[in-house]
Amino acid sequence: MSATHPGSGGYIVPTRDVASEELVLNMGPQHPATHGVLRVAVKTDGEVVLDCEPMVGNIHRCKEKIAENVTYVQFMPYTDRLDYLAAMNNEECYARAAEKLLGLKLPERIEYLRVIFAEAGRISSHLMSIGTYGLDVGAITPFLYCFREREEANHLFEKISGGRMLYHYMRIGGVARDPDDAWIQRLLQFLDQVEEKMDEYNTLMTWNKLFQERTMNIGVLSREKALAFGITGPALRASGIDWDCRRDDPYGIYDRFKWEVPVADGKHGTLGDCWNRHYIRALEMKQSISIVRQAIDKMPKANPDELPPPESPHKPFLAKGVPRSLQAPKGAEVYVRSENPRGELAFYMVSDGGKSPYRVKVRGPSFCNIALLPEVTRGYLLSDLVAIIGSIDIVLGEVDR
């Protein structure tokens, strides 16, 4: 006698005559594979996951309340702490939201710097997520290799912003500092280095038979489910949906670059499985490298009329005419989104005419993506659960906010 458990995994568990009961495992908040402080209550039959429930909120800081009590400028460093592995991208999104709310126009050079830093941040963040995914499935060495490269990215960001992880580099109406040529050269070297090492990671992970065995056909997320659950980012594209809001709803100056949006085609594994999610990230890094190179090529010199050099090294590099005290018109509201490494981050901001926003809502991609966890894990093994959490790639700072 045997029965197949509901769910897409379809592992067969014999039904027994002996009295047995389900084992409820409390995975996290202190568990190595939950990427921070996620807690998952897993109901298992032996090793088969019958059901699971992600419980979030362990590092909830009520950032949205903080935003209502600080000025537009003061909230910028808090956005770093949302998705702390891709702080540049958060800042970029918030800066754009605030600028749209306040009606600021940006000089060309700043736009290009935004793109360069956002894409470099994406490379750095994807390095981290690919590395930790290796760790999740038991390959320890790729993790350290990825960190070797991420270290270089950290050095670069530290040189320009002073922070290795939480940069506070983007400013409303500008950036903190204008990078010099030496820095740009070093960034280009970093890109070459990552491009070269990508093949190494792919040999160690993507095309490794054991890695494929562990991740292919696991945690399959269908197109329909991905849409219905509001999944965004690499996970959406891994399900075969050709959507990238950098290309399809272009913001900033993304429409000026030529690049391809990697979309899973189902040639390897199943469409929407863990392997495809991982592979999309690896491909995205290559595209980001190309975007950064194009942006560096095209970036104009600063025009002193609209972008004067800062009076002192301690002053940010802002466009001319950005007021010291920012105030949005009463009743103005914006909803601005950007393609973050983990999906679409969005800021909904409402102003009442005061110096601080009346309401800020952060739509964190990780928050939406992790809601799906029970749907894709039912019926798989406990080991698969870890692989699935890793492939969805969440950052708890953004889930809990």
Partner 1 sequence: MTVTEIGALLKERFGEKILEVVDDERHGHVRVAADAWVAVATFLRDDPRTRMEMCHDVTAVDWIEHFDVVVHLYSLAKKHKVALKTKTPSRDDATCPSLTGVWPAADWHERETWDLMGVRFTGHPDLRRILLPEDWEGHPLRKDEGNPLEYHGIPGIAAIRGAEERLREEELAKKKQRAGGHPGPHPAVGSHPTDGVTPGVKP
Partner 2 sequence: MREGLTNLLSGLPQWLQDIALPVLFGLIPAVIIVLGVVTPVGLVGIWGERRIAGKIQDRVGPDRVGISLGPIKSRLFGLGQSVADGVKLLGKEDFIPPGGLGLMFLCAPLVVFAGALALFAALPFGPALWAADPNLGIFYLLSVGALEVLGVLMAGWSSNNKWSLLGAMREVAQVISYEIPMAIAALCPVLLAGSMKMSSIVADQTNGLDLWGLHIAAPEATALGWNLFAAFPFNIIAFVVFYICALAALKRAPFDLPECESELVAGFLTEYSGMRWSLFFLGEYAAMWAMSGIATVLWLGGWTGPLHGFLAGVDVGPIPGGVFFGTLAFVVKTTILFLLMIQIRWTLPRLRLDQVMSLCYKYLIPAAMLCMLASGAAALLASGGAGS
- Contact footprint for partner 1 (CB under 8 A): 56-57, 60, 62, 64-65, 100-101, 227-230, 241, 243, 248-249, 332-335, 337, 344, 346, 348, 350, 358-359, 361, 363, 367-368, 371, 400-401
Q: In whole angstroms, what is the distance from residue 367 CA to residue 378 CA?
A: 19
Task: Name the minimum Å distance from CB 211 to partner 2.
Answer: 5
According to CB under 8 A, which one of 4, 23, 105, 248 is a site residue for partner 2?
Answer: 23
- CB-based contacts of 148: which residues, under 8 Å, 6+ apart? none
Q: Which residues pair with 347 in a beta bridge?
A: 336, 362
Task: Name the minimum Å distance from CB 236 to partner 1.
Answer: 9
Task: Name the minimum Å distance from CB 313 to partner 1.
Answer: 14
Task: Name the minimum Å distance from CB 237 to partner 2.
Answer: 23
Residue 258 binds which one of partner 2, partner 1, none, with CB within 5 to 8 A depending on kind? none
- CB-based contacts of 19: which residues, under 8 Å, 6+ apart? none
The helix/strand/coil state of 208 is coil
- Of the pair 113, 326, the CB lying nearest partner 1 is at 326
Q: For partner 2, which stretch binds (CB under 8 A), given 30-38, 102-110, 186-194, 362-370?
A: 30-38
Residue 361 binds which one of partner 1, partner 2, none, with CB within 5 to 8 A depending on kind? partner 1
Residues making up the chain, counted from first to last: 401
Amino acid at site 122: R
**Torsion angle (degrees, nearest 10) of CA 239, 245, 249, 253:** -150
Looking at residues 342 to 381 of the shown chain, list those that interact with partner 2 (rule: CB under 8 A).
381
Interaction of residue 14 with partner 2, rule CB under 8 A: no
Looking at residues 115 to 174 of the shown chain, list those that interact with partner 2 (rule: CB under 8 A).
134-141, 144-145, 148
Interaction of residue 47 with partner 2, rule CB under 8 A: yes
Residue 31 binds which one of partner 1, partner 2, none, with CB within 5 to 8 A depending on kind? partner 2
DSSP notation for 99-147: HHHHT----HHHHHHHHHHHHHHHHHHHHHHHHHHHHHTT--HHHHHHH
Q: Which of 202, 401, 180 is nearest to 282 (CA)?
A: 202
Q: In whole angstroms, what is the distance from residue 95 CA to residue 109 CA?
A: 15
Both tokens assigned to 123: 């490379």
Residue 165 binds which one of partner 1, partner 2, none, with CB within 5 to 8 A depending on kind? none
Q: What are phi and psi of 276, to 5 degrees?
A: -65, -35
Looking at residues 170 to 229 of the shown chain, list those that interact with partner 2 (rule: CB under 8 A).
204-205, 208, 210-211, 213-214
Interaction of residue 383 with partner 2, rule CB under 8 A: yes
Tell me whether strands 317-318 and 39-45 are parallel, antiparallel or unpaired.
Answer: unpaired
- Of the pair 101, 205, the CB lying nearest partner 2 is at 205
How big is the site for partner 2, counted in residues (CB under 8 A)?
32
Please give the distance of CA 129 from its chain centroid, rounded to a whole number: 9
Binding site for partner 2 (CB under 8 A): 11, 23, 25, 31-33, 46-47, 134-141, 144-145, 148, 204-205, 208, 210-211, 213-214, 381-386
